[in-house]
Amino acid sequence: MSITCPKILIVDDDISIGNLVSRFLQKKDYIVEYANNGKTAINIFGEFKPDLVILDINLPDTLGYNLCTEMQNTSDVFVLMLTSRTDLEDKKKGFITGADDYITKPFDLEELEFRVQAILKRQRIVKSSPESLITIDNLIINPETREVKINEQVITLTTLEFDLLYFLANNPGKVWRREDLVSHVWDNNPIGDNRVVDVHIGQIRKKIEKDCNNPHFILTVRGVGYKFEV
């Protein structure tokens, strides 16, 4: 039986770092492609169809945030942000645009591999069946197509936003602590701060709620966490 090696696209304008990471991951039996700018990355992305993108934020022709959004609007690819930015707000912005994890430069190659392994162990696609389509009031969540509609209008969510919304909606009425949501949706704590859940909940509410201050679907349970109300 043949085993398919995971495919990784590295996007970094520092060619020395790109080559170093490429050689390291190839020795670990990953299939690797490299791009040093956004335009090249998008061209390779369409043909290569990677399982994971290791993405620098500062690129000569665009920001990694923009690439992350563009890639995840057309696929369920995992994204690991690789950057010299250490500010918490920069990290939160990365997760808002759909990043699965974040590592700062300088970094240890072994740690990078551990993070790659952890990300690739996750199951992005939700098992689908005729019963798994969720319809509540004017909200429709389709896990097979990963499409969300409000009043028949398609709502664009990042990959993690969809995963979080589907998980909550698939467990209606149950109150979830932030750490439990991180465990189920992220599989690990990406920045050691469970408030990353609050950031994503806020983004989801902006897209599906009529009034974010008085949400209809995702309710806050003070002192505990969140629940999806039916």
Q: What share of the chain is helix, strand, coil (3-state, %, to 5)?
A: 40, 20, 40
pTM given for the model:
0.65
| pLDDT for position 24 | 96
Judge if 7-120 and 130-228 fold alike in CATH terms: no
Residue-range domain boundaries for the chain: 7-120, 130-228
| pLDDT for position 208 | 94
Length of the chain: 230
| pLDDT for position 105 | 86
Enclosing H/E stretch for 180:
helix 178-181
| pLDDT for position 160 | 83
Helix axes 196-208, 88-96, angle to 10 degrees: 40
Reduced to 3 states, what is the DSSP secondary structure of residue 127?
coil
Q: What is the DSSP letter of 132?
A: G
| pLDDT for position 125 | 45
| pLDDT for position 128 | 44
- The CATH classification number of 130-228 equals 1.10.10.10
Give the class (CATH, top level) of 7-120: alpha beta
Burial code (b: 16+ CB inside 10 Å, e: under 16) for 210-223 equals: eeeeebebbeeeee
Average pLDDT of adjacent 10-residue blocks, the chain of 230 residues: 78 94 95 96 94 94 91 86 76 78 89 90 54 85 89 87 92 91 73 75 92 92 91
Enclosing H/E stretch for 101:
strand 101-104
